[in-house]
Chains A and B, each alone.
Chain A
């Protein structure tokens, strides 16, 4: 195999500014820099401004079309598959970073990014626009900073502005997580992707289980210990939050998200006979029972009420937590450094970046740049 020729003997040497610039560029864009860009970045580093070097790299189109695209793609489907076609969820992530928008909007904003001049136009019932946009992104002449345009979900999808909730109400997320089921999937995957924890990590059997729906068996297989020791720990906190999605569904026949204000979706009454004395959902009111007990450690915002109606305010509740901010930072760290934070130094860096992210307007581009500088080698 010709291409597999054994070219591998790297010369061992400490990294200088050029090597550091090369790595920063590689990690942020996925491609090696041109000689001109490499020199420019190396100069910044040599002058003691590595962050400038990194920020320069983040304006390479591949930062958007390769790095951010593949950073977000696994969040948009249940299998966490990175090979899925481009969609509105992934493009929303790219767009928010491109425009240096506060990234916490990912869970509550009425925002949609579309391809300028890309046909077919965006549609509530099809992903074709984004698949065409993905092809455009490969075009060497495509500039994401001008080729992606911001609009609103409420102008394209059958959602009033107050029913939009960032990524959670994108068409891709609806198709993946609102389809069939009980809408708990939307919550669970949002927890995994934006709080960096699965349900096992937030389970707490000591909180009041009064909102667990009828479809949860209290005696799985005839053994209530399973419920009282395990199921209850997740459902007691999750179900009152998932109630925020009570009016949402995805219709696989039309291919569109569905929103029925004032009318709880039938899926909330699935298997009501499993435990008829369980909670019957009356509306989309949600409550965050995790504000007390062990999950108070997630760092909820004391200025928010911890309850509300609908997905948007619930998204704000999640996005304002310390866990959300730290999760975004950890994800970026891993994507750029190619490993999770591992020791005290890494954790201190995470803390620094988290504080800067949260207090500095949730600018995710900066987190990418800071991480790349931290891991540029020495």
Chain B
């Protein structure tokens, strides 16, 4: 999202959505009756005077009809209830309109007094104040139409100026936690807040068993966000007991809270303070929630019939905050946990709506015959197959629709008159493109009765070749249940994070999809780091857009320099080397602005937009959680000040380690064997038969010289090649005469091998040395072995010797055959192979 800034004499505002100015719609841009609106549960028909103006009409449709029910605001803020203001009075919508107007902020619905009141704990009709506030905000946004989206402005609010404080950070070692806090959690919270509990309730900060390092570490990780080391009494664990009476283990919640607080204090007292290095040039400090909210974006939601943003962050229910009745609240079960910065992390569990509530999809989608499934997901890996991300189904083989993952592909199954009950054949993203990645992605799957299905990822159309395009939805079943992260049966688990899901009963256009993609997901803030004390520029700040990125990190992006005094000209302010500090120290990782070097100049500085410092974003590890982590910036140079940053230390080289003793001999490898055989025999390695055999056995010969790696199969290949070389040698009259000048190849074997030295000596001279090489096999031993090959072993009738083989014709041809055998035995031996 781009930022633009508008400055007045007293205030500046960040204009969001400049990039979207050309897009149609906007949330509620077209004032039309929203699907499913028209009264909360139990609302009676309105019989009063008609709305006097179009705006009253919009009020009625979007807000009034939803809140006036007796189980909503109408219980009190009506004539019967008598509780002022009477914005839910059912006798006259025009009077209710007048009462409601002071309670809403149509340009910024989230800031409406009505929303803030409910968010603060005022009579929410659900179990989550935040969910009620979100729903109210949605209704007011719908009422506001273009007002709420046409030019959303966010005023940069200067945070309180304070120096980065001394702070306590969680030690990496779990011992202190394990000693002081973990026993209390195990004793009193493990019944629910442990993964092995039958009534398991995320987060698992009481994970067990005790003594299991992995379990204690998991508990520690989950507990950090609920412990305030700097102010133990403010720890969520303590507040939950003392103020919210959440499952106290005695009748005295205050006493239980004291026990918890004492345990946390004992932990905190043993954690040293982290002090800011006084040599650093530091900005002022603030926490994430002290920033100016930049969230909201401009999602296109005109036809949204269900929405889950997972803002609650705790408990067993994920609320449908679309405002479209009935709410399809999801019940969490199995291995599913809340994800930092809004989301659910699935690892085998599911989040499922009741079949009754799910029927909303059936009714709303059949009314239009088209729909879109939109989700922000981060698949946990790219190897899971047939895993269900968003499904409206009855089991593994029956569904109305399903968005799933199959390795690198998103798959979209839809039931139509032309598909089977399982929604086959599916539309899949092209496998070769590997569209699905294990990172946060915006996925929209659309179904149109004429054009069929399309899948968009990160705003781009990636699959539209629907194998069964279009059709009617008449075969849909209204008894199915909507489920995330698994199949309703629990048998098709998906691993990953879902950060938002929306169902629309229209096909989102490509422009609307891009709009929703660019609107992003999660809450964002502008963090204003005061630098006036460094720059002497009045009310000057370095501003980052920041958000909780996931459960373990923050995203910082696009820093800019600005003064909130619109009359200021900054002059020349050099800025070099910005680093993000966290709880008293520079973050050890993620310092993407460490090499930044720029100068703020009056020429480049725009009082309305400031001056952009970098287009980059970076991810900084979370330590204590967004409520407690205190950020600040450090600079290598700013204004006229410089910090002499020491270079990164270079450690001493690691001490060398001796390897086990290894053989200092090895074997010849493939080409060496070929070349050696050619050299010994004198045969051209390009001889057709030799070449063909070598090409065949080349990769079966030893590839590396290591002795231990030689296999029997290598020896077979060596033998094949040796035989081929010897065949080529012996069958070539010229070559054999040169090589073995005294050997009578034209005689029968008995006569010929009487002169065997003429055959054997030239080979052995080349192999073992004319003057015998001491490192080669003993010549007499080799000759004796060759003798046994030819003459047999005396007394062993099974080995009569090749010369004495019965039943063969002992002619000159046989002589050559035996000569090849002798040659091959020598050539294929270890005397050749070892080097």
Contacts and interface: CB of A to CB of B under 8 A. Distances in A.
B96 interface: no
Q: Which of A7, A8, A225 has the most CB of B within 10 A?
A: A7
A338 B590 contact: no
23 contacts: A3-B715, A8-B829, A8-B830, A11-B776, A15-B775, A18-B769, A22-B773, A30-B672, A83-B699, A140-B678, A206-B588, A209-B590, A217-B439, A221-B381, A222-B438, A225-B553, A227-B619, A273-B458, A337-B664, A338-B705, A340-B659, A342-B662, A375-B664
A8 B665 CA distance: 14
B821 A2 contact: yes
A12 to B, nearest CB: 8
A368 to B, nearest CB: 15
A5 B829 contact: yes
Q: Which of B592, B617, B776 has the most CB of A within 10 A?
A: B592
Contact of B665 (A221, A223, A225, A338): A338
Interface of B: 339, 343, 345, 378-381, 437-441, 458-460, 495-497, 549-553, 555, 557-558, 588-596, 614-619, 621, 647-651, 653, 656, 658-666, 668-672, 675-676, 678-680, 684-686, 691, 698-699, 703, 705-706, 715-716, 718-719, 722-723, 765-767, 769-771, 773-778, 781-782, 785-786, 789, 821, 824-831, 834-835
Contact of A139 (B495, B618, B686): B686
A241 to B, nearest CB: 15
Contact of B621 (A2, A14, A34, A224): A224
Interface in A251-278: 271, 273-278
A5 B691 CA distance: 24
B553 A206 contact: no
Contact of A9 (B658, B771, B781, B828): B781
Given A31-B672, A338-B665, A228 B553 contact: yes
Contacts of A35: 765-766, 769-770
Contacts of A276: 617
A66 B676 CA distance: 10
A10 B778 CA distance: 6
Contacts of A280: 615
A2 B835 contact: no
Contact of A219 (B553, B596, B650, B651): B553
Given A205-B588, A343-B659, A210 B616 contact: yes
Contact of A221 (B438, B656, B672, B829): B438
Interface residues of A, number: 84
Contacts of A121: none
Interface in A21-38: 22-23, 26-27, 29-32, 34-35, 38
A221 B767 CA distance: 61
Contacts of A229: 589
Contacts of B441: 273
B439 A274 contact: yes
A312 interface: no
Contacts of A217: 437-440
B711 to A, nearest CB: 13
A7 B648 contact: no
A181 B381 CA distance: 20
A30 B668 contact: yes
A244 B764 CA distance: 56
Nearest to A5: B825
Nearest to B673: A30
Given A205-B589, A219-B549, A340-B659, A277 B616 contact: yes
Interface of A: 1-11, 13-16, 18-19, 22-23, 26-27, 29-32, 34-35, 38, 62, 65-67, 69-70, 82-83, 135, 138-140, 205-210, 212, 217-225, 227-229, 232, 271, 273-280, 292-294, 296-297, 337-340, 342-344, 347, 375, 377
Given A10-B776, A18-B771, A377-B664, A232 B825 contact: no
A219 B553 CA distance: 9
Contacts of B767: 32
Contacts of B705: 338
Given A26-B668, A83-B698, 17 more contacts: A2-B825, A13-B775, A18-B773, A26-B835, A31-B679, A35-B770, A62-B679, A207-B648, A217-B438, A217-B439, A218-B555, A219-B550, A224-B552, A227-B619, A273-B441, A280-B615, A338-B664
Contact of B380 (A221, A343, A344): A221
Contacts of B438: 217, 220-222
A30 B769 CA distance: 16
A343 B94 CA distance: 93
Contact of A30 (B658, B676, B685): B676
A292 B650 contact: yes
Contacts of B658: 342-344
Contacts of A275: 439, 617
Contacts of B379: 221
Nearest to A219: B550
Given A140-B684, A228-B621, A10 B777 contact: yes
A375 B662 CA distance: 13
B380 A294 contact: no
B458 A138 contact: no
Across the A-B interface, the 5 shortest Cβ-Cβ residue pairs: A277-B617, A3-B828, A30-B672, A217-B439, A13-B774
A39 to B, nearest CB: 9
Contacts of A1: 715-716, 719
Contacts of B679: 31-32, 34, 62
A308 B224 CA distance: 45
Contacts of B827: 3
B623 to A, nearest CB: 12
B668 to A, nearest CB: 6
Nearest to A215: B437
Given A18-B773, A83-B703, A6 B785 contact: yes
Nearest to B619: A218
A7 to B, nearest CB: 4
Contact of A69 (B617, B671, B706, B723): B671
